[in-house]
Amino acid sequence: MTNTSNDTTPLPLSLSNEVSEKDKIFLSQYYQLTSNSEWYLDTTNDCYRINNPAEKLSLTLDFREGNYRHRNQNIGKEPLLQAVKIKGKLPQTLIDTTPGVMKDSIMLASRGIKITAIERHPLLFVIVRQALSFLDLDIDYHFGDSSILLPEFSAQVIYLDPMYPSKKKSAQVKKDMQILHSLVGKDDDAEKLLQVARQQQARVIVKRPSYAEYLGNQTPNFSSQAQKRGATRFDIYL
């Protein structure tokens, strides 16, 4: 499976009968709906679950469940929380241009930041939208390409966390990231997104692995120090 709302060839996708009519109609614009695709969408506990039995991948997105709650209860020292601060204070508004499975957005929203999130992968969009309906957080969730939609919104901070190629397929890559890699592929156009973001009136923050070059070789004004080897670095553009 790949990618985005910009793709022209519809990929095959199977849906269970529990997928809502509204979501079926939406997905039919981007996928060839069939009964025997490699990827299969069904539901559990009113949330969507995406399955790929051949790759042994399955992910239920349920933000009410333990992992999400755990992170949100232990966030005092979250490096992202430190990185988004402006003069020591959390911003009031932030646009997440690459929300993925929403871990970062939910963590930031649970600290009172008003989030606008724009996701371009149609299947991921549907799964996340359903899971968000159970949360009471200030998240305005949109479908589309951020590099096109960004100028329609404004916020103090614009956040980018594009996919980067994983160094190796290892057991350490978390299950939700494995499935994200498999579903979404690489975000090879992230450099363009950074260019658009930097044209807006906002502080721009790019999440990178510590070993990676600056995105698009654009030198930031400063970077957060990665705490340990292999950890995350945040590049900040003023």
Ligand X SMILES: C[S@@+](CC[C@H](N)C(=O)[O-])C[C@H]1O[C@@H](n2cnc3c(N)ncnc32)[C@H](O)[C@@H]1O
Of positions 23, 62, 187, 235, contacts ligand X by CB under 6 A: 187
| Comparison of 15 and 131: residue with beta carbon closer to ligand X | 131
- Binders of ligand X among residues 87 to 116 (CB under 6 A) are 97-104
Q: How far is the CB of 219 from ligand X (least distance, A)?
A: 21
In a 13 Å sphere around the CA of 90, the CA atoms on its Cβ side amount to 17
In a 13 Å sphere around the CA of 12, the CA atoms on its Cβ side amount to 8
CA distance 68 to 34: 33
Of positions 49, 120, 129, 208, contacts ligand X by CB under 6 A: 120
Of positions 1, 110, 113, 161, contacts ligand X by CB under 6 A: 161
Q: Which stretch binds ligand X (CB under 6 A): 37-45, 54-62, 85-93, 160-168?
A: 160-168
Q: How far is the CB of 26 from ligand X (least distance, A)?
A: 16
Of positions 72, 110, 130, 147, contacts ligand X by CB under 6 A: 147
Q: Which stretch binds ligand X (CB under 6 A): 28-36, 41-49, 144-152, 212-220?
A: 144-152
Contact between 193 and ligand X per CB under 6 A: yes
CA 68 to chain centre: 14
Q: How far is the CB of 60 from ligand X (least distance, A)?
A: 15
The sign one gets for the Cα dihedral 169, 170, 172, 174 is positive
Sole residue written with tokens 């985005």: 4
Question: Collapsing DSSP states into helix, strand and coil, what is residue 203?
Answer: strand
**Most distant pair of Cα atoms in the chain: their distance:** 54
CA distance 197 to 151: 8
- What residues are paired with 157 via a beta bridge? 94, 203
| Residues 175 and 168 sit within 8 Å (Cβ to Cβ) | no
Q: How far is the CB of 193 from ligand X (least distance, A)?
A: 5
Residues that bind ligand X (CB under 6 A): 97-104, 118-121, 124, 145-147, 161-163, 180, 184, 187, 193
